[in-house]
Amino acid sequence: MTTATREWASGVGVLDKASALLEIVEQAPAPLSELVSRSGLARPTAYRIAVALERLGLLTRDSHGRFVLGPRLGTLAVEARYDRLARAAAPVLAELHAATGLEARVLRRRGRVQICVATSADGVAGSGGTEKAPVGTARPVTAGAVALVLLAWEDPEEIYHGLRGARFTAGQLSQVRRRGWARGADVMVPGEVAYAVPVRIGDGRVVAALSVSGTPSRMDLIPSRRLGAAVFDSAAELGDALQRAHTAPAAPRGRYGRTASGTR
């Protein structure tokens, strides 16, 4: 009999045992002895399952040899968040495009590249999919306004690695953190200028950058205060939408996994 609280149960023995170990480690790092005592599993069983989870990247070990949640779980959580990001961005970008006449995008950083997650052209009737930087477009995160925003609020070690080969300095990142925005080259569309701000969720973490871009002459037609207000308001709206999506309860599912609306 296990002493860990079973929040999830599948009815499949080995999966439920693995889930029990994950629940324990989710609360705090745990040595094997604690996994055994709290799960109620025999030591060989707990060890075998913990090592299997470690091989799958669902668990790993810290410098003290304790089991902790593995990197794969973090990756899955991040990907789920970015799925929500793309969905939540569509109406926000459409409104921002209508207010400014500029192409609006949401971009995120993945390793050494910045990726376009959503663009206002997706929601503009008659665009015909002719946006200048379609969803999925990737560029190195070493130059431009968006790169500055995506890196400025990272932890010091990430900033150190991000500055390798970058066309900006730690001082420029510091300036972006102080003022909260960046303006400069749009590496997604050569020859254009971008104005970018961070997208934050409830705990203050920066999860993406929101930008508008256009030719220098077109950007200069919009007063900087009006442009900044529009982009910051949109970023705040998107952050709020992400937070609501994160905390909203899942739709109840009936038999065969359908929601109340009949969709899967």
Report which DSSP code applies to 65. Answer: S
pLDDT tens per residue, range 174-229: 999 999 999 999 999 989 999 999 999 888 999 999 999 999 999 999 999 999 99
DSSP string covering 124-181: STT-TT--SS-TT-EEETTSSHHHHHHHHTS-HHHHHHHTTT-SS-HHHHHHHHHHS-
Instruction: Say which CATH class 78-246 falls into.
Output: alpha beta
> Which ranges in the chain are annotated with CATH 1.10.10.10?
13-69
> Which ranges in the chain are annotated with CATH 3.30.450.40?
78-246
Tokens of 255: 């038999």
Give residue for tokens 């002493």.
3
pLDDT at site 48? 95
Task: Please give the torsion angle defined by the CA atoms of residues 97, 98, 101 and 106, in that order, rounded to the nearest 10 degrees.
Answer: 0
Query: End-to-end distance of the chain based on CA atoms, in angstroms?
Result: 35
What is the rounded average pLDDT of the residues 28-34?
90
**Cα 54 to Cα 47: distance, rounded to the nearest angstrom:** 10
More confident residue, 76 or 134: 134
Has domain 13-69 been given CATH number 3.50.50.60?
Answer: no
Widest Cα–Cα separation across the chain: 71
Return mean pLDDT, the chain: 83
pLDDT tens per residue, range 125-158: 444 445 688 888 888 899 999 999 999 999 998 9
Between CA 245 and CA 160, with CA 196 as vertex, the angle to 5 degrees is: 95
Where does 21-83 show beta strands of DSSP type E?
A: 59-61, 67-69
pLDDT at residue 76 above 60?
A: no
**Cα 264 to Cα 262: distance, rounded to the nearest angstrom:** 7
pTM of model > 0.85: no
Helix (H, G, I), strand (E, B) or coil at 242: helix
pLDDT at residue 51 above 80?
A: yes
Rounded to 5 degrees, what are φ and ψ at 250? -70, 150
